[in-house]
Chains A and B, each alone.
Chain A
């Protein structure tokens, strides 16, 4: 068996899986983005439909719903960044201070639970929990003298609902990477600090937090890079026409225009717009991370 044959058989093995699958299911649809520049007509199909230039994009930008979806996407993402980004770091720090390892492990395991469930299940669960007539959340609010809130149908509260449930779902899972960083801190640093008379607060400020800076920086850059990427699964299962004004995001807008209204040209344009911005953001984020550290996602 010479190296040539060896290479040849590997190559054969490879050519079974990679080109067929990725070319067919990923790159053919990428070519399909030409629909964004066409006036799609069902009888003519993708290739037969006439070119429309930037007409679809103009319709989107000048319309009411697309700019609204863009605005909602960015606002919801920023809220999720502000509240959802620090949450797993704080959880990791608190877990790290626990003395009883069994308790720590139980809290950790429970905190992973929501990660394993889909937003379909969680939407159903939260509809029960936030119900204005039976839910425990409104029970607490009214017990404290407040008025019951219809969270799923109230424009003033819907984003709060989205952001808080998202933080709840992702905080435990998100803390893993920070706990990993904490577990790699050299314990002799703490021992030396104790000898020098540092209390636990000082140890956290001077040893634990600095240990988290590299991973936090990287996670933050990627989080900023993902600001245009909304969570279709969550919004689609939570929202309803009463809250479209504050809840409709780019992916749900694209879905409705494309699948419900069958405006293929418009929906492809909307998807392409989102994907191009997302690509630019994530590539920039990766570039920045690579520039200043040895990490990066590729």
Chain B
């Protein structure tokens, strides 16, 4: 941060004021879109259609949320997303650690070759169709495992964990080895306990990417019962597909209590609230991860 000797000059003071104003405006643009959608989701059709800034709903109604929660696909989507986030993240972390630990050992035969084989997959892939056909041939279409197995180890994440393991002192591990502990034992009772920060970080990375994932579900899953939340959201909000919309809109005789736009807004909020609530607390782990990753990728 630059410094000022004594009293700031007029120019510097004007800059400071404009800087604060500009960054405040910028911060508002990151938050306002979500406030807008939140307000629409609580609005009556008349209030939602008003042209202008929406900071607070005029006539609060829960009608849209009643419709959203009555839509079983929202719950199915939540359950499926929760499944892949919990089971998927656990397996991701387990396999990433199992892959990274041996690669951190200088005496592993063909270590560089293994690393190269893994890193190469970051830069080249067979592409959409060969991947799709593989999943199809393996009989994983419409299986929840198609959302977990192909991305079990993210190469970049694995390399970060490997680098972390390499930075640990080897003396403790060697003396445990002399005492007769095997590799698995050393990994679980000596290495992992001191690696909790990195394990926490990569768990969050994997968990957020599972939570947000939708494309693999679009490709591999056609059974509505196994569709993940992101894809249910996509079908409702972007495609406006009727299959996923068993909403009770515009019941005859009662007037228009809720419109598709308001239901879309409520659906977005229902799908997004969990991440909006947790991100302020987990973002520092992500930031830390960027630092680790940029040191030596």
Residues of A within 8 A of B (CB): 1, 3, 6-7, 9-11, 13-14, 16-18, 21-22, 24-33, 35, 46, 91, 94-99, 103, 106-107, 109-118, 120-121, 123-129, 133-134, 136, 138-139, 142, 168, 172, 176-177, 180, 187, 190-191, 193-195, 197, 199-201, 203-204, 207-208, 232-233, 236-237, 251, 254-255, 258-259, 264, 267-268, 271-272, 274-276, 278-279, 282-283, 296-298
Interface centre among A27, A197, A199 (most CB of B within 10 A): A199
Q: Which of B60-68, B94-102, B189-197, B242-250 contacts A (4 or more CB under 8 A)?
A: B94-102
Q: Which residues of A contact B5 (CB under 8 A)?
A: 194-195, 197
Residues of B within 8 A of A (CB): 1-5, 9, 11-12, 15-16, 19-20, 22-24, 26-27, 29-34, 36-37, 40, 48-54, 95, 98-99, 101-103, 105, 107-109, 114, 117-119, 121, 123-134, 149-153, 177-178, 180, 182-184, 208, 212-215, 219, 230-231, 233-234, 237-238, 261, 264-265, 267-268, 271-272, 275-276, 279-280, 283, 286-287, 290-291, 294, 297
Instruction: Tell me, rounded to whole Å, the shortest Cβ–Cβ distance linking A178 to chain B.
Output: 11
Q: Give bound CA distance, A298 to B158, whole Å.
A: 13
- The one of B23, B50, B219 in contact with A94, judged by C-beta atoms closer than 8 angstroms, is B23
Closest to A101 in B: B1
Q: Which residues of A contact B133 (CB under 8 A)?
A: 29, 32, 35, 46, 264
When the two chains form their complex, are residues A176 and B287 in contact, meaning their CB atoms are under 8 A apart?
yes
When the two chains form their complex, are residues A118 and B214 in contact, meaning their CB atoms are under 8 A apart?
yes
- The one of B3, B108, B118, B128 in contact with A11, judged by C-beta atoms closer than 8 angstroms, is B108
When the two chains form their complex, are residues B279 and A112 in contact, meaning their CB atoms are under 8 A apart?
yes
- The one of A176, A237, A268 in contact with B129, judged by C-beta atoms closer than 8 angstroms, is A268
Given contacts A107-B24, A204-B2, A297-B297, 19 further A-B contacts (CB under 8 A): A9-B182, A29-B125, A103-B20, A112-B279, A112-B287, A120-B230, A121-B268, A124-B264, A125-B36, A127-B237, A128-B265, A134-B49, A134-B50, A193-B3, A194-B4, A194-B5, A199-B9, A267-B128, A278-B124
Closest to B29 in A: A168
Q: Give bound CA distance, A125 to B84, whole Å.
A: 25
Q: Give bound CA distance, A54 to B32, whole Å.
A: 51
When the two chains form their complex, are residues B105 and A10 in contact, meaning their CB atoms are under 8 A apart?
yes
Q: Give bound CA distance, A30 to B122, whole Å.
A: 12
Closest to A130 in B: B33
20 CB contacts below 8 A, A to B, read A1-B177, A1-B178, A13-B183, A26-B121, A30-B126, A30-B130, A35-B133, A107-B24, A112-B279, A112-B286, A113-B30, A113-B276, A116-B279, A117-B212, A124-B237, A134-B51, A136-B52, A139-B53, A177-B294, A203-B3
Q: Which residues of A contact B105 (CB under 8 A)?
A: 10
Closest to A236 in B: B215
Instruction: Tell me, rounded to whole Å, the shortest Cβ–Cβ distance linking B135 to chain A.
Output: 9
Closest to B183 in A: A9
When the two chains form their complex, are residues A96 and B1 in contact, meaning their CB atoms are under 8 A apart?
yes
Q: Which residues of B contact A3 (CB under 8 A)?
A: 107
When the two chains form their complex, are residues A98 and B27 in contact, meaning their CB atoms are under 8 A apart?
no
Minimum-distance CB pairs A-B, first 10 = A32-B130, A271-B127, A29-B126, A29-B130, A118-B212, A203-B2, A124-B237, A14-B102, A26-B121, A200-B2
Q: Evaluate whether A120 and B233 lie within 8 angstroms (CB atoms) in the complex, with A97-B1, A112-B283, A298-B297 already known.
A: yes
Instruction: Tell me, rounded to whole Å, the shortest Cβ–Cβ distance linking A99 to chain B.
Output: 7
Q: Which residues of B contact A195 (CB under 8 A)?
A: 5
- The one of B4, B119, B237, B297 in contact with A120, judged by C-beta atoms closer than 8 angstroms, is B237
When the two chains form their complex, are residues B23 and A95 in contact, meaning their CB atoms are under 8 A apart?
yes
Instruction: Tell me, rounded to whole Å, the shortest Cβ–Cβ distance linking A288 to chain B.
Output: 15
When the two chains form their complex, are residues B2 and A6 in contact, meaning their CB atoms are under 8 A apart?
no
